[in-house]
């Protein structure tokens, strides 16, 4: 399985808009976290949203997913305002240990959200294909607690994909795994994204990860948060953990994002 997008960054500019954030605002009591966030995601794009810890990335993602009501502004998904979790949207959270149901096998966990969408006879082939795509072929009978953290996160990704969402939202999905597993999972996400033609919005505080994965990096300012810059990443695909990171353009993009994050940190309201 290889990545098949030749130059996704430039190729996607003509694709239709899938998701739009319009002046999205969120406060918790008196604390304003999101102070009007605007951006749009086109079909097929891999967009990383990067910002310092506490800048409101999880808050933003939950508002986009219809899991949290914004205080102002809105998210529009496929032309309709998001007021509850849309059926064609899936979320992978950071904490895999709490996102998989421990009393169900991996197979049952992956099947669960499919029940509303696919008739029973169609499910086994699809479950097998996503388990294979994430490197868990033949492991469907295991329970989450019989697996390592990296395997559990693979299972959570498989569950998100099995549902065949139009967009996959991922909230720092690799923050809790070790460095080697993280590298494997980054490349896994790039491959399955190409194979399943999924639009991905990937939230991270990790600058290297954002530049490595993305067609576009959206950098958030510190809270109260707005978009500080929207950066096109025209690095060639398929990406390679060694070769891509040796490119001068990679270093330049990394430095640009780094400086923006540093300045966001120094301007953020300390809570």
Q: Which residues bind Mg ion (CB under 5 A)?
A: 57-58
Give min distance, CB of 223 to ligand ADP, in A.
Answer: 6
> Edge-to-edge strand order for the sheet containing 80-81?
31-42, 17-28, 72-77, 80-81
CA distances from 242 to 28, 106, 239 (A): 42, 32, 9
Scan residues 107-166 and list those touching ligand ADP (CB under 6 A).
none
Question: d(Cα 92, Cα 159) in Å, to the nearest integer?
Answer: 9
Q: By C-alpha distance, which of 43, 38, 153 is closest to 88?
A: 43
- The encoded tokens of residue 64 equal 């986009």
Stretch that binds ligand ADP, among 5-13, 57-65, 71-79, 139-147 (CB under 6 A): 57-65
Is 26 or 139 the residue whose CB approaches ligand ADP more closely?
Answer: 26
Q: By C-alpha distance, which of 257, 172, 231, 263 is closest to 39?
A: 231
Of residues 98, 120, 242, 271, which one binds ligand ADP by CB under 6 A?
271
By a kind-dependent CB cut-off of 5 to 8 A, residue 271 interacts, out of Mg ion, ligand ADP, none, with: ligand ADP
User: What count of other Cβ atoms lies within 10 Å of the Cβ of residue 109?
Assistant: 24
By a kind-dependent CB cut-off of 5 to 8 A, residue 54 interacts, out of ligand ADP, Mg ion, none, with: ligand ADP
| Length of the chain, in residues | 271
Question: d(Cα 30, Cα 35) in Å, to the nearest integer?
Answer: 13
54 binds ligand ADP (CB under 6 A): yes
28 binds ligand ADP (CB under 6 A): yes
Give min distance, CB of 271 to ligand ADP, in A.
Answer: 5
Q: By C-alpha distance, which of 174, 187, 192 is closest to 242?
A: 187
By a kind-dependent CB cut-off of 5 to 8 A, residue 28 interacts, out of ligand ADP, Mg ion, none, with: ligand ADP
Give min distance, CB of 58 to ligand ADP, in A.
Answer: 3
Is 12 or 204 the residue whose CB approaches Mg ion more closely?
Answer: 204
User: What count of other Cβ atoms lies within 10 Å of the Cβ of residue 56?
Assistant: 25
Give min distance, CB of 269 to ligand ADP, in A.
Answer: 9
Stretch that binds ligand ADP, among 1-9, 12-20, 46-54, 158-166 (CB under 6 A): 46-54
**CA within 13 Å, CB half, 105:** 10
Q: What is residue 156's three-state secondary structure?
A: helix
By a kind-dependent CB cut-off of 5 to 8 A, residue 59 interacts, out of Mg ion, ligand ADP, none, with: ligand ADP
33 binds ligand ADP (CB under 6 A): yes
Residue with tokens 């895999």: 96
Is 9 or 51 the residue whose CB approaches Mg ion more closely?
Answer: 51
53 binds ligand ADP (CB under 6 A): yes
Instruction: Give the binding-site size for ligand ADP (rule: CB under 6 A).
Output: 12
Binding site for ligand ADP (CB under 6 A): 28, 33, 51, 53-59, 223, 271
């Amino acid at each position: 399985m290889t990545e098949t997008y030749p130059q996704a960054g430039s190729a996607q500019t003509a694709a239709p808009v899938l998701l739009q954030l319009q002046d999205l605002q969120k406060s918790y009591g008196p604390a304003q976290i999101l102070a009007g966030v605007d951006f749009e995601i086109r079909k097929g794009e891999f967009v990383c949203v990067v910002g310092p810890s506490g800048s409101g990335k999880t808050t933003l993602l939950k508002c986009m997913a219809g899991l949290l009501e914004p205080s102002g502004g809105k998210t529009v998904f496929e032309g309709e305002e998001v007021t509850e979790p849309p059926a064609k949207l899936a979320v992978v959270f950071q904490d895999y240990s709490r996102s998989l149901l421990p009393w169900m096998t991996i197979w049952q966990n992956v099947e669960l959200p499919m029940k509303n969408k696919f008739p029973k006879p169609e499910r086994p082939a699809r479950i097998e294909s996503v388990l294979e795509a994430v490197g868990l072929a033949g492991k469907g009978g295991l329970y989450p607690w019989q697996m390592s953290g990296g395997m559990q996160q693979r299972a959570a990704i498989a569950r998100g994909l099995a549902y065949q969402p139009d967009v996959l939202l991922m909230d720092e999905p690799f923050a809790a795994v070790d460095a080697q597993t993280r590298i494997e999972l980054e490349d896994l996400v790039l491959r399955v994204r190409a194979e399943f033609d999924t639009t991905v919005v990937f939230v991270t505080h990790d600058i290297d990860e954002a530049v490595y994965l993305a067609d576009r990096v959206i950098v958030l300012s510190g809270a109260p948060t707005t978009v500080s810059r929207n950066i096109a990443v025209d690095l060639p695909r398929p990406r390679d953990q060694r070769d891509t990171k040796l490119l001068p353009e990679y270093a330049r993009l990394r430095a640009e994002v780094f400086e923006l994050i540093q300045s966001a940190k120094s301007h953020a309201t300390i809570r």
